[in-house]
Structure 1
Amino acid sequence: MSTFDFNTIINALPVEDHWGPPTPAADATLNDIPYAPYSKGDKLGRMADWSTEGGKDGRDQRGRGGYNRFGRDQQVYGAGTSSLFSTQQAEDEASFSIVDNQRTSTKTRGGFGRGTIFRGRGGRGGAPTARGGARGGTLSRPSARNERQDGRGARGRGRRFGWKDYDKPQRNRDSSVVIKPDWKMLEEIDFNRLAKLNLETDEGEDVETYGFLHYYDKQYDRPAVKGVERKLAIQERAYYNPTTSEDPVIQQLAEKDEAQIFATDSVLSMLMCAPRSVNSWDIVIVRQGNKLFFDKRDGSQLDFVTVNENAADAPVESDSNKDSINSPQALSMEATFINMNFAHQVVTESDEDKYTFENENPFYNPQDDTDPLASKGYKYRRFDLSLTEEEPVHLIVRTELDAAMKGTGKQIDQFLSIKALNEFDSKAQGSGGALDWRTKLGTQRGAVVATEMKNNSCKLARWTTQAILAKADVMKLGFVSRANPKDNGRHVILGVIGYKPRDFAAQMNLSLSNQWGIVRTIIDMCMSMPEGKYVLVKDPNKPVLRLYEVPPNTFDEELEVHVEEEEE
């Protein structure tokens, strides 16, 4: 028997009967494929990691290769040899990019629909603040100047916006009135719609006048003597501000059909300046036949003066500062107290030398009131809001004047509207970056006034509107500060500045035609409704007005409780 030759037997078999991998000549599709090294010690990542920001040659966008950005200690298998399998692109496709001409918004929406909200205050729209909170916009990259001031040069991180505001409470304000389940919402008006309204009207005419005015003491216009401060004294005077439907003069004018719409200047000015408001407020509207009465509730927010309502870092009320003298409610009470006493202090009281109107004060009863009557003049003025002669619409508003000023030579007496701005603590939270009045009011008066226009835009707009409605010749603004920042019971008068109301309105960019357009829109809206009672409420956290239909006896219980408390 010959020697066993295994190779001879294998070669004699047909090719299709071979067992095992084919010879290289049998399948040439795998030729020129390099061998990828593999080690059993290699750590495998995910089978398909779609979250990795891949780039060319298996590298991410930062140029790092071979590591997963979610687990840097895990090596991505094959990252070091992936370039062996890369194909050469025939026409350099990597140099091409998709052109998208559609604008993509970078604005982030959040926080009650008011735009971008960062840690801290969610604002109503405006520029970024010095502390980093933005008001309704987006923040851009800090300038090179800020980077150099930060000490890290052009390659540094620059200024960090909002890092100090991480622990600030959100401004979730409460509504001025409780919305009950039986109230029916009829309309919702955004402030953007109100800003587009316009209506040209005349300056109005006087229908009736009541009361008297003391003359203004001009010594308060002089700069205070250095080291000597004028103290704000408490003035016990009788002052009246009844709502529209309780005014006996308005009731008589309504019976005579002198107009279809009736309001007071405090209520009407709030409606006219609604787009500037931040805090919640409400107005009661009563329709009787073809007449509308714009009223306020007893104890309404319209009777109180706000403080830094429009500031980027406005006073905020929390559980920790409810009893603080710098809480929003305490500051409002303090500002209201200052305004009432300041207007009475800067006049010279004299029974012989005063300006008297045609009729006496309609609210004063000498048998019931023991306090002397305050200097106050009431003008009932009529404005024509008609769009056509066929459908006349007239408004009568009760306006107020605080003092008179004697003219020089042949000039006639002038009427004044007197208000007071107050400073509580320039270093406290909620001051709005205000300057120190004691050191800056004499040298930088313009900067002080500009800061107050920014922080109290709604309040100053209301005061200016009331002065224009009353046709006042001059508006006097007093600057009153605390004698001690820690004591809200003692105040000093630092100075008084006078402005013409229309000139001051131009400085504040206050449009009277837009204000009258807002009033006419609300009037048309209510006149299209059936007779009844309605409430117009400003949303506490959104720039929105809502009109509700309420039962006829709404707020009557509150009035009865208030009357019982006064009788007791």
Structure 2
Amino acid sequence: MAPISLSDIISSLPSEDSWGPPTSTETTLNGVPYAPYSKGDKLGRMADWTTEGKDGRDGRGGRQQYNRNFRDQQVYGAGTSSLFAVQLAEDESSFSVVSNTRDSTKTRFGRGGTFTRGRGQRGGRADTRGGRGQFQRVGGRGGQQGYNNYDNRGGRGGARGGRRFGWKDYDKPQRNRDASVNIKPDWKMLEEIDFVRLAKLNLDTDSGEDIDGYGFLYYYDRSFDKQPVKSAERKLNVVDRAAYNVTTTSDPVIQELAEKNEATIFATDSILSMLMCSPRSVYPWDIVIVRQGNKLFFDKRDNATLDMVTVNENAADAPMDASEGSKDAINQPSALAEEATYINHNFANQVMIESEQKVEMAHENPFYNPAEETEPPASKAYKYRRFDLSLNDEEPVHLIVRTEIDAVQKNAISGEDQFLTVKALNEFDHKAQGSGGALDWRTKLVSQRGAVVATEMKNNSCKLARWTVQSVMAGADVMKLGFVSRANPKTNDKHVILGVVGWKPRDFAQQMNLSLSNGWGIVRTIADMCLKRDEGKFVLVKDPNKQILRLYEVPAGSFEDDGEGEIIEEVEEAED
């Protein structure tokens, strides 16, 4: 082999003043970008095969943790290895295996127990010393649930058994309820309000003033306040009395007041209470709003869901419908609502003392026609009351609402008449699905009445809030709540009255954390949305599956019965 001389190497270079490969302005080498140099990298050996065993421990190259034995073996460019790493479509670390097998390991909170944050949890005794928190269900032995007092003080929150709210919620099917009204394509959505915004509204108003009164009232039978003996339970009887739930625009008294320009907004207590308590609602509903001139009428459709009394609407595990897998027909939401409405109608009529002694209002019942009705009228007084919703004196806004009073009683101390509203809570089966963890009323209503009432406040928050708002708006002195249960949990046609408890409406509102100022703020906000629009008809719809209210503008002829229109036309032709 011929020897290589240094002059031959120098002569092959492109320039005598340079050494090494030719200078290039390109930033890539065979299509691969240069790795930038990191100041944190150290220049070590160019090639070192002695570290293969050490470097291959984890199968990955790159920068190692600092070790004084290998401090000079840092790899150049290791700090920028992430620049050329392959980006996976999904991060595998975000996946986890969900096991349906029950873990037999006993934790420090007890197997199947709940951890309650609050006072009374010291060290490792959090499984036996229940913390002080909100009223909630705690575990009993053997899977039985029990209730402590309102604050759960000293409860066995971590005892064996018991149900944890949220446990295996991923296995529960998503409930998709249908809307209360079909949204048509020609409807125009104007506003969309979530319940978080509604809960922040506030408007202070006065206690209202009476405009006029209609109907009469019987006296309440105080014997129902006594706890009945178990061997002689009072049966709920069917008492046929003529009762009415006329909507706003069909009320002749409201029509007369509107012609006199007595107010800007007109409504009934049933419609208004639903609007004021809308943040508590779960089931779908809708309200029709009609603007005529500068007046608003809060109305409802025929056979609207507002007339039905719901059952356990706010329960964590509400009653399921047939489409959701329920096979118990009498415990489905629609069947329970019909049963509760039937109970309320008959209970209010049964607790009256029907005699010649009654309290007459200034006018007779505006809806009762003796020539057509075959049943006597029910004890009912309609009080038309006016509330001031004005924000300033320059733009007065008043509201007239038709309220209802059910009975009257003598004050035990002063002997004066007190107005009452009478409602009824019903128990269907405390062991069935959808009971919401309710106690057995027959055994617990006397000894643990506070726990029973607190459970009803939780499971029927919207219904009780509506009743309370209606009582406050009517100016009632006492709100009577009856506790009615099935004679047999398997049948829904026979019931017994277990007891009646009375509260002052405003005191009951404080116990429920019910803000009337928030309700009046909601009414004024919805009214302003419609008053700034042109004359027409609007529909306020509660989303069936979300906590959202939507305001739609609908054609003027919507929700009108074509059959009734034909009858009206025939009568007009006959008169001509």
Residue of structure 1 aligned with 2:329, choices 321, 324, 335:
324
**8 Å Cα contact 1:34/1:84 also seen in 2:** no
1:13: Cα distance to partner?
Answer: 5.3
What is the Cα-based RMSD across aligned positions, in Å?
3.6
**8 Å Cα contact 1:131/1:162 also seen in 2:** no
Map of 2:456 onto structure 1: 452
**8 Å Cα contact 2:421/2:478 also seen in 1:** yes
State how far apart, in whole Å, the 2-side matches of 1:146 and 1:172 are.
37
Secondary structure of the corresponding residue to residue 494 of structure 2? strand
Residue of structure 2 aligned with 1:440, choices 433, 437, 444:
444
The alignment status of 1:36 with 2:41, answered yes or no, reads: no
**8 Å Cα contact 2:421/2:476 also seen in 1:** yes
1:228: Cα distance to partner?
Answer: 2.0
State how far apart, in whole Å, the 1-side matches of 2:327 and 2:288 are.
29
Judged with a 3 Å threshold, the aligned counterparts in structure 2 of structure 1 residues 161 and 231 are, in CA distance, closer, same or farther, namely: closer
Map of 2:560 onto structure 1: 556
Judged with a 3 Å threshold, the aligned counterparts in structure 2 of structure 1 residues 559 and 310 are, in CA distance, closer, same or farther, namely: farther
Residue of structure 2 aligned with 1:338, choices 335, 343, 347:
343
Map of 2:214 onto structure 1: 210
State how far apart, in whole Å, the 1-side matches of 2:414 and 2:67 are.
101
Secondary structure of the corresponding residue to residue 186 of structure 2? coil
Judged with a 3 Å threshold, the aligned counterparts in structure 2 of structure 1 residues 524 and 166 are, in CA distance, closer, same or farther, namely: closer
State how far apart, in whole Å, the 2-side matches of 1:302 and 1:82 are.
69
State how far apart, in whole Å, the 2-side matches of 1:357 and 1:131 are.
59
Judged with a 3 Å threshold, the aligned counterparts in structure 2 of structure 1 residues 314 and 563 are, in CA distance, closer, same or farther, namely: farther
**8 Å Cα contact 1:422/1:481 also seen in 2:** yes
State how far apart, in whole Å, the 1-side matches of 2:55 and 2:436 are.
53
Corresponding letter in the other structure for 2:299: D
**8 Å Cα contact 1:210/1:359 also seen in 2:** yes
Map of 2:30 onto structure 1: none
Judged with a 3 Å threshold, the aligned counterparts in structure 2 of structure 1 residues 13 and 452 are, in CA distance, closer, same or farther, namely: same
The alignment status of 1:379 with 2:383, answered yes or no, reads: yes
State how far apart, in whole Å, the 1-side matches of 2:188 and 2:434 are.
36
1:454: Cα distance to partner?
Answer: 0.6
State how far apart, in whole Å, the 2-side matches of 1:132 and 1:279 are.
31
Where in structure 2 are the equivalents of 1:362-377 lying within 5 Å?
A: 362-377=366-381
Map of 2:117 onto structure 1: none
State how far apart, in whole Å, the 2-side matches of 1:538 and 1:532 are.
20
Secondary structure of the corresponding residue to residue 34 of structure 1? helix
Cα deviations across residues 332-368 of structure 1 (Å, max 9, x unaligned)? 1111111111101111111x11111111000001111
Judged with a 3 Å threshold, the aligned counterparts in structure 2 of structure 1 residues 132 and 552 are, in CA distance, closer, same or farther, namely: farther
**8 Å Cα contact 1:307/1:332 also seen in 2:** yes
Corresponding letter in the other structure for 1:276: R
Judged with a 3 Å threshold, the aligned counterparts in structure 2 of structure 1 residues 87 and 298 are, in CA distance, closer, same or farther, namely: farther
State how far apart, in whole Å, the 1-side matches of 2:396 and 2:66 are.
84
Map of 2:177 onto structure 1: 173
State how far apart, in whole Å, the 1-side matches of 2:551 and 2:344 are.
31
**8 Å Cα contact 2:45/2:73 also seen in 1:** no
Judged with a 3 Å threshold, the aligned counterparts in structure 2 of structure 1 residues 461 and 485 are, in CA distance, closer, same or farther, namely: same
**8 Å Cα contact 2:410/2:418 also seen in 1:** yes
Judged with a 3 Å threshold, the aligned counterparts in structure 2 of structure 1 residues 220 and 561 are, in CA distance, closer, same or farther, namely: farther
Map of 1:523 onto structure 2: 527
Aligned identity (percent) is 66
Aligned length: 458
The alignment status of 1:193 with 2:176, answered yes or no, reads: no
Map of 2:310 onto structure 1: 306
Structure 1: runs of 5 or more not aligned: 1-9, 18-27, 38-56, 60-64, 67-75, 92-118, 120-129, 134-142
**8 Å Cα contact 2:482/2:497 also seen in 1:** yes
Cα deviations across residues 186-214 of structure 1 (Å, max 9, x unaligned)? 01111111111111111111111000111
Corresponding letter in the other structure for 2:466: R
Corresponding letter in the other structure for 2:241: R
Cα deviations across residues 66-109 of structure 1 (Å, max 9, x unaligned)? 5xxxxxxxxx5899x99999943999xxxxxxxxxxxxxxxxxx
1:318: Cα distance to partner?
Answer: 3.1
The alignment status of 1:349 with 2:370, answered yes or no, reads: no
Judged with a 3 Å threshold, the aligned counterparts in structure 2 of structure 1 residues 84 and 14 are, in CA distance, closer, same or farther, namely: farther
Judged with a 3 Å threshold, the aligned counterparts in structure 2 of structure 1 residues 376 and 322 are, in CA distance, closer, same or farther, namely: farther
The alignment status of 1:532 with 2:560, answered yes or no, reads: no
Structure 2: runs of 5 or more not aligned: 9-43, 75-99, 101-110, 115-123, 130-138, 142-157, 569-576
Secondary structure of the corresponding residue to residue 334 of structure 1? helix
User: Normalization by structure 2: what TM-score?
Assistant: 0.73
State how far apart, in whole Å, the 1-side matches of 2:507 and 2:45 are.
89
The alignment status of 1:251 with 2:255, answered yes or no, reads: yes
**8 Å Cα contact 1:261/1:396 also seen in 2:** yes
State how far apart, in whole Å, the 1-side matches of 2:529 and 2:112 are.
42
State how far apart, in whole Å, the 1-side matches of 2:125 and 2:379 are.
58
Q: Which of 312-321 and 398-407 deviates more? A: 312-321
**8 Å Cα contact 1:260/1:290 also seen in 2:** yes
Secondary structure of the corresponding residue to residue 201 of structure 2? coil
Cα deviations across residues 128-186 of structure 1 (Å, max 9, x unaligned)? xx9999xxxxxxxxx97459999xxx9xxxx9985554543212111111100010000
Judged with a 3 Å threshold, the aligned counterparts in structure 2 of structure 1 residues 147 and 452 are, in CA distance, closer, same or farther, namely: closer
State how far apart, in whole Å, the 1-side matches of 2:201 and 2:66 are.
66
Secondary structure of the corresponding residue to residue 540 of structure 1? coil
Judged with a 3 Å threshold, the aligned counterparts in structure 2 of structure 1 residues 465 and 245 are, in CA distance, closer, same or farther, namely: same
Secondary structure of the corresponding residue to residue 526 of structure 1? helix
